[in-house]
Amino acid sequence: MARPKNYPYSQFNFLVEWDNIKGETKDAGFQEVSGLGLEINVTEYRAGNQKTNEPIKVTTTAKASDATFKRGVIGAQDLYEWTDAVRNGSQEDIRKVTVTLLSESREPVMRWKLLGARPIKYTAPSFNGKGTDLAIEELTLSVERIEQEAA
């Protein structure tokens, strides 16, 4: 387990894992993960007989952000197959995805667990005959809940 330190960890050492329908954990190498977050909604309320003119604020629902994963095309069909299963109506192919930040010595530091994750968008790479960039595919996941924990 990594310990807190006086300077931030680098963002470029991380692991992505997800549980598949058979309960097995699968590792996947990604170039970029973005959009991990949550939003807590607040509703304002003011009763007519309140002694001040300001409303009180009541915490209501919370919502996890959609998360985006990018990786180089490696010939694997796993992202597309997951997306295709959900597109074809599978309600059982909702997964837990875990993103783990690693220290410089590759020790786990923090984990973000994306619960109730399902693909909502798959983007194939752009192609350009004169380009020199790598072919990158992108998967956007809708997430029901996000949890963060020290590793």
The domain of 107 spans 14-35+69-150
Going by C-alpha positions, the residue among 59, 43, 33, 65 that lies closest to residue 145 is 65
Please report the pLDDT score of residue 51 as a whole number: 94
The answer to the question of residue 4 being in a domain is no
The answer to the question of residue 40 being in a domain is no
Tell me the whole-structure pTM to 2 decimals.
0.86
Please report the pLDDT score of residue 92 as a whole number: 80
The answer to the question of residue 115 being in a domain is yes
Please report the pLDDT score of residue 79 as a whole number: 86
The answer to the question of residue 95 being in a domain is yes
Taking the CA of residue 61 as centre, how many other CA atoms within 13 Å lie in the half-sphere pointing to its CB?
A: 4
Number of domains into which the chain is organized: 1
Please report the pLDDT score of residue 77 as a whole number: 86
The answer to the question of residue 78 being in a domain is yes
Instruction: Give me the CATH number covering residue 101.
Output: 2.30.110.20
The answer to the question of residue 146 being in a domain is yes
The answer to the question of residue 30 being in a domain is yes
The answer to the question of residue 109 being in a domain is yes
Q: What is the pLDDT tens value at each position of the chain, 151 positions in all? A: 556 778 899 999 999 998 765 556 666 789 999 999 999 999 999 999 999 999 999 999 999 999 999 999 988 888 888 999 999 998 888 999 999 999 999 999 999 999 999 999 999 999 999 999 999 999 999 999 999 999 8
